[in-house]
Structure 1
Amino acid sequence: MSAIPRRSSHHAEPGAGRGGFGRSLRAEWTKFRTVRGWVVALTAAALVTVLLGLLSASSGHASCGAGPVEVACPPPLVGPGGEAVDDKFYFVHRPLVGDGGITVRLTSMTGQIRKPDVTPGRRNVVPGLVPWAKAGVMIKESTRQGSAYAAVMMTGGHGVRMQHNFTHDVAGRAGGVSRQSPRWLRLTRSGDTLTGYESVDGTDWTRIGTATLAGLPQTVQIGLFAASPGDLTVTQGDLGGSVAAARFTEATGEFDQVRLEGSTSGAWRDDDIGVTVGPDGVEHHPGRAGQSGGTFSVTGVGDIAPTIEGPTAERPLSGALTGLILVIVVAVMFVTAEYRHGLIRVTLLAGPRRGRTLAAKALALGLVTFAAALPAGAITFTVGGRILRGNGNAVLPVSLFTQVRIVVGMAALFALAAVLALALGALLRRSVAAVVTAITVIVVPHVLATTSVLPDSAAQWLLRLTPAAGFATQQSVPQYAHVLGHYAPIAGFYPLPPWAGLAVLAGYTALALGLAVLRLRRRDA
C-alpha cells in the first residue's frame, strides 16, 4: 500500500517570507503618517531648528574699527587650499628666476613673551620662545598674503620642520639650536617641486620632505624669515570651564653662511608681511632685520599657519538642540503609545517576528526623521551663513565637501537619536521615563560639555563616551597639530573626528535597539 502524502503542520507566519520586512516597513510608515500629532511634532522640530538657527544668525553682528568709523570686518585671508590662514611674518628676500635654492646656518634662536603684569603699569616681558615660533628659509610665490610657499625652519619646541601652503607640516630632527650646536637648513626649487634638507655640520644632509606647488610662477621670492604666534594660556573659570588668552611674542633668528643658488638679482629687501597698521598709520608690533657682513638677524611676530579663530560655518545650527528634543519626544511616543493603548498586541499579531517588527519601526522612524532634518539643516546652514556674513561676520570658509558633511551629518544625528529614543521607549515602556533618559544621555552631556560648567578634560571625556559624541559631525574647522589652539568643546572643537563621533552614537543606538529586541522576545507585550 502506497503512503498517502500528509500536509505539513507548519504554517507560514503572516508577513513571513519574501517581502515580509517590506510590508512591515510600509505598515509602520502608514502608522506614523496617519497620526497627525506625530507628523505635526516632527514638522515643528524641523521648523524650530530653522527658525532658531536663523534667529541666532540674525543676532550676530560684527564690525571693525577704522579710526572713529565702524566698518564691516574684512573676509578671512584665504590660502591656496581655500582655508582661512594667518600669513604674518618678517621676510628678508630676493627674487629667484627659475630653479635654485638657499642654504643657511642658523646659529641662534631667541625670543620674548609678554606675560600677565605683576606690577600694575609695568609690562612683564620675559625671554623665551613659544613652541611654534619659527625661523628659517622660505620660497614664496610672492609677498602677497596667502600666496603659496614652502619653508624649512627651526621651531621653538618642535625641532626642525618643513611646512608648505599653511596646512602641511613634516617633522625633521628634534632638539634646539645654539652657537655650540648650530643647524643648517636648505630649500631648493626644481620647477614646481620644492625640497627641504637639514644638516648638523653643513656636509651630510638629510632630506626632510618635498612639496609640489602647482602653478608656481617663473619668478618667486627666496630668503630668510621669522614669525612667532601668540602665547596661549588657558585658565580655569570661576564657574567652571576655561578661559583662553593669547599674548604678544616675538622670535629672532641669527643666520650666517647664507648661500644662494640660481638666478637671483638685486639687493636684499625687507618686508614685514601682514604687519598691523593702526588708524594713525603706526605699525603695531613691527618686525625688524639687520645685516652685518654675512650675518643676518631677523625678528618677526605673527604666524604662517591655518587660522582657527573666528565665527564658524556651523554657528546657525545652534537651534538644533531644541529641534532634537522634539524629535526625541516623537520617537518615544511612536512606540510607547502602542503600549499605553494596548495596540502593541495587534502589531505583533500582524508581524509575529518581533525583532523584525521593531527593526521596521526603527527604520521607518529613522528615514522619516532624516528626510525632515536634511532640508531643515540645509536651509539653516545656507541661509544662516548668508545672514552672518551680511551682518559683517568674517565666517571661516570651508570646502563644499565639509558643508555637505555638516548638513548630512546633522540629519544622520537626528535620525540616530530618534532610533535611540525609540529603543529606550521599547525598553522602558513608559513615555516620561524614556524621554527623560534619552535627553539625559544625548542632549545633557552636550550642554554640559559646551558651556562653562566642566573642566576641558572632563568635557572631552563626556563627548567621547556618551551618545553626545555624535555632535562632532557639526565641527567645520579641523584641529591642526602645528597650530597651538584652545581645542576644547567650549571653543567648538570635539575630541573625536566627525564620523567617529557619529559612529559612537550609532553604537549606542545599535546596543539599545538590540536590548529592546531581546526584551520584546522574552516578555509579552
Structure 2
Amino acid sequence: MRKRSIVALAVAVLSVVVPGLLLAGGPGSSGREGAGLDVADQFWFLHRDLGPEGSLTVRLTAMTGTITYPPPDHDEIVPGLVPWAKVGLILKDGLRRGSPYAAVMMTGDHGVRFQHNYLHDVAGRPGGVSERVPRWLRLTRSGPTVIGSESVDGKNWVTVGTTLLDGLPDTVQIGLFATSPGDLTLRRVALGGSVEEVRFTQAVGVFDNVTPGGDWASDPVGEMNRTDWELLHHASGAVEQAGVVTVSGTGDIGPIGEEAPITTRLALSGLPIALIIVLVVAASVVRSSGTGAAGRRPLLTMAAASFLTGLIAVGVVVPVPRVAIGLGVAFALCAVLTGQLRELFGRRWAAVAVSTLLVFVPYFVATTALLPDPIAQWLLRVTPAAGFAAGQTLVEYPQVTAHYAPSAGYFPLPWWAGLLVLGAYPAVLALVVRRARRQPQPRMSRFNRSPRRTAGV
C-alpha cells in the first residue's frame, strides 16, 4: 500500500474516534453495570432490613398514574398509566444501581408480574389494573431463594415466580416500590421515517395490611424529584397515614438503560465517513487481483488494512470485543467488494459509485430516520449494509417499550446473519470476475486490419 493510502485509513480511524470521544463522553462511556449489562434501575423504595429468612405481605388497593403532555395536542397533563408502569414489592441487595433484585408487582397493562435481575420476566394472571386491583402481593426469602406470590383474598396464594439470587448477603432490603417509564410515541419525519418522543410519567401505588411492620426508610434508587411536575405538583416518595402507605415513583427497572443506546449511537456517529474512505482507498489500491498469489496480494492487503481500521476505530469508543471485531470484518468485506468491482469495471470511479450505492446509501438512509421503518429494515436485510448489524448493542426485550428500528440503533438481523449477507456479495462477485477473466478476448482478423501506409504511396 502507498503512503497516501495509509494516511487515508488513519484519517478514517480518527473520523470515528474523535467524534466518538467528544459526543459519547470518553472510552467505555456506555456505562456497563451489573453483570456486564446497561440497565435501568430507578424507582422509589420504602424499605427495611430482611435477614436470611422472612417475607413481606401487602395489599395493593389502588394504582394510578400521570402522563404529561401526550399526543395528539401535547397541551395537557392527563391521568393514566403506561403499559409497563410498576408498583409492588421488591427485594434488593442494597440501594446501588444494578444490584441483584427480585420483585412481584402490578403493571399498567400487563397484569401481575415477577421480575428479577433485569432480564427475567414471568407473567402472573393477565388483566389490566381495573381487573386486578385490589390484589395481595407477597415476597418470601429463604437463603438465596426468592418467591413472588399473589392472592385475591389474602388466603389462597398462587406462586407467580421463583428465582435463585446467588451471592445475596445475610441482610438485604425489602419493601414497597413504584416506578413508571416514559410515555413513548413516534413522530413522522422526512420521507416517512419516525423519531421517538418520550414524556415524563409517574405511577402511584396505595397499600395497606403491610405485615410485618418495622423500622422503615424511604429513599430513591436513582435520581428523583427533579422535574417540574414532581417539584410543583406531586413529589415522588412514600407517605404513611393511618396504616395506608402511598408510594409514588418514576423511572424503570429493566435491561435497557435510558442513555445506553443513545450513547452507543453517538460513539459510532463517524462510522459513515470512515466507510466512504475505506471504499475510496480500496478502489485505488486494488487494480487487478490476478490469478496467482502475487495477483491476489493487493486485495488481501487491503482487506487486512480495512479490518484493522474498523477494529481500532470502533474498539477505542465502544470497547466491546464482539462489536469491534464484527465491524472490522464488515470493513474488510466492504473493501474486498469494492476491489472486485474495480477489477470488473476497470475504472476507479465506477467501483466507488457502485459500492457506495450498494453499501453506504442503504446504511445511511436506514439509520437516519429518512424512510419508514419497514423499508429501512428490509434495506438492512438484503443489501451489503446488513453487515453493520455487527455494531448493534441494542437487544429487544418484551418487557421494555422502545423504538426497535434502525434509526434507533436496532438492526433486523443478528450480527452473524448480517455479516453472512454482506459476505455473500463479494463471494458472488468473485465468481462473476473469474468467469469474465476466463472468457476469450475477440481477435482481429488479418483481413480487417488497416493497411500499413508506406512512404511514397
TM range (shorter): 0.7 to 0.9
Residue 470 (structure 1) aligned with residue 387 (structure 2): yes
Aligned twin of 1:55: 18
Q: Which runs of 5+ in 2 are unaligned?
A: 443-457
What is the letter of the counterpart of residue 55 of structure 1?
V
Distance in 1 of aligned mates of 2:167 and 2:387:
40
**Alignment map for 1:281-430 (pairs within 5 Å):** 286-291=235-240, 295-305=244-254, 306-309=256-259, 312-313=263-264, 315-332=266-283, 337-338=287-288, 347=290, 364=297, 367-381=300-314, 383=316, 385=317, 403-428=320-345, 430=347
Name the residue aligned to 2:204: 252
Gaps of at least 5 residues in structure 1 are 1-37, 63-71, 339-343, 352-356, 386-397
Aligned-partner SS, 2:175: strand
User: 1:51 and 1:459 mapped to 2: Cα distance?
Assistant: 28
Q: CA deviation at 1:409?
A: 1.1
- Identify if the C-alpha distance between structure 1 residues 273 and 315 changes in structure 2 by more than 3 Å, giving closer, same or farther: closer
Deviation digits for residues 342-380 of structure 1 (CA, Å, limit 9, x no counterpart): xx9xx55xx6xxxxx8xx967x56643343234433443
Question: CA deviation digits over 1:294-338, x for unaligned, max 9?
Answer: 543322212222314255356454444344334334545666x44
Confirm or deny that 1:241 pairs with 2:158.
no
Whether 1:274 and 2:222 are equivalent positions in the alignment is: yes
In 2, the alpha carbon distance for the partners of 1:464 and 1:99 equals 52
Larger deviation, residues 125-134 vs 164-173: 164-173
Q: Identify the match of residue 453 of structure 1 among 364, 367, 370.
A: 370
Counterparts of residues 106-255 of structure 1 (less than 5 Å): 106-116=60-70, 124-178=76-130, 182-200=134-152, 202=154, 205-237=157-189, 241-255=193-207
SS at match of 1:60: helix
Summarize the Cα distance change of 1:505–1:200 in structure 2 as closer, same or farther, 3 Å threshold: farther
Rounded Cα–Cα distance in structure 2 between residues aligned with 1:199 and 1:177: 15
SS in 1 for 2:23: coil
Give the aligned residue type for 2:43.
F
Quick one: which amino acid aligns to residue 242 of structure 1?
S
Distance 1:89 1:502, change over 3 A: same
Structure 2 letter corresponding to 1:270: S
Alpha-carbon separation, structure 2, partners of 1:485 and 1:155 = 17
CA distance 1:495–1:117, change in 2 (3 Å): closer
RMSD: 3.6
Taking the aligned partners of 2:371 and 2:52, their CA distance within structure 1 comes to: 56
Q: Is the 8 A contact 1:77 1:86 kept in 2?
A: no
Q: Which residue of 2 aligns with 1:15?
A: none
Corresponding letter in the other structure for 2:164: T
Task: Confirm or deny that 1:96 pairs with 2:50.
Answer: yes
1:504-519 alignment runs, 5 A limit: 504-519=421-436
State how far apart, in whole Å, the 1-side matches of 2:123 and 2:344 are.
52
Contact preservation (8 Å) 1:366, 1:416: no
Task: Give CA deviations for 1:456-493 in whole Å, capped at 9, x if unaligned.
Answer: 33222222221111112122343433222233323333
- Residue 391 (structure 1) aligns with: none
Taking a change above 3 Å as real, the CA distance of residues 313 and 413 of structure 1, as seen in their structure-2 partners, is same
Q: Secondary structure at the match of 1:242?
A: strand
Q: Greater shift after overlay, 482-491 or 125-134?
A: 482-491
Per the alignment, residue 46 of structure 1 pairs with 9
**Hey, what's the Cα distance between the residues in 2 that align with 1:511 and 1:198?**
58
Distance in 2, matches of 1:77 and 1:408, equals 20
Which secondary structure state, in structure 1, belongs to the residue aligned with residue 16 of structure 2?
helix
Displacement, 1:235? 0.5
Query: Partner amino acid for 1:368?
Result: T
Is the contact between residue 225 and residue 298 of structure 1 (CA under 8 Å) also seen in structure 2?
Answer: yes
Q: Is the 8 A contact 1:112 1:129 kept in 2?
A: yes
Give, in angstroms, the shift of residue 218 of structure 1.
1.0
1:15-64 C-alpha deviation (Å, 9 max, x unpaired):
xxxxxxxxxxxxxxxxxxxxxxx5446424421212222332465387xx
Q: Which moved more, 1:480-489 or 1:200-209?
A: 200-209
How far apart, CA to CA, are the structure 1 residues paired with 2:90 and 2:385? 44
- Partner-residue secondary structure (3-state), 2:428: helix
Q: 1:323 to 1:238 in 2, by over 3 A?
A: closer
Offset of residue 210 of structure 1: 3.2
Provide the TM-score with structure 1 as the length reference.
Answer: 0.72
Partner SS for 1:255: strand
1:99 Cα deviation from its structure 2 partner: 1.4
Secondary structure of the 2:364 match is: helix
Percent identity at matched positions? 47
Whole-angstrom CA distance in 2 between matches of 1:167 and 1:412: 29
- Distance change in 2, residues 1:42/1:202 (3 Å): farther
Gap change, CA 1:504 and 1:180, over 3 Å in 2: closer
Q: Residues 77 and 189 from structure 1, CA distance in 2 versus in 1: closer, same or farther, beyond 3 angstroms?
A: farther
Quote the offset at 1:415 in angstroms.
Answer: 1.5
Q: CA deviation at 1:82?
A: 3.8
Structure 1 residue aligned with 2:445:
none
Alignment partners' CA distance in 2, 1:231 and 1:472 = 27
Residue in structure 1 matching 2:409, options 482, 486, 492: 492
Q: 1:330 to 1:53 in 2, by over 3 A?
A: closer
Partners of 1:439 and 1:56 lie apart in 2 by 22
d(CA) in 1 for partners of 2:14, 2:272: 12
Q: Deviations over 1:96-126 (max 9, x none)?
A: 1111222334343221111259999xx6111
Greater mean deviation of Cα atoms: 466-475 or 306-315? 306-315
Distance 1:101 1:373, change over 3 A: farther
Tell me, yes or no, if the aligned pair for 1:91 and 1:271 is still in contact at 8 Å: yes
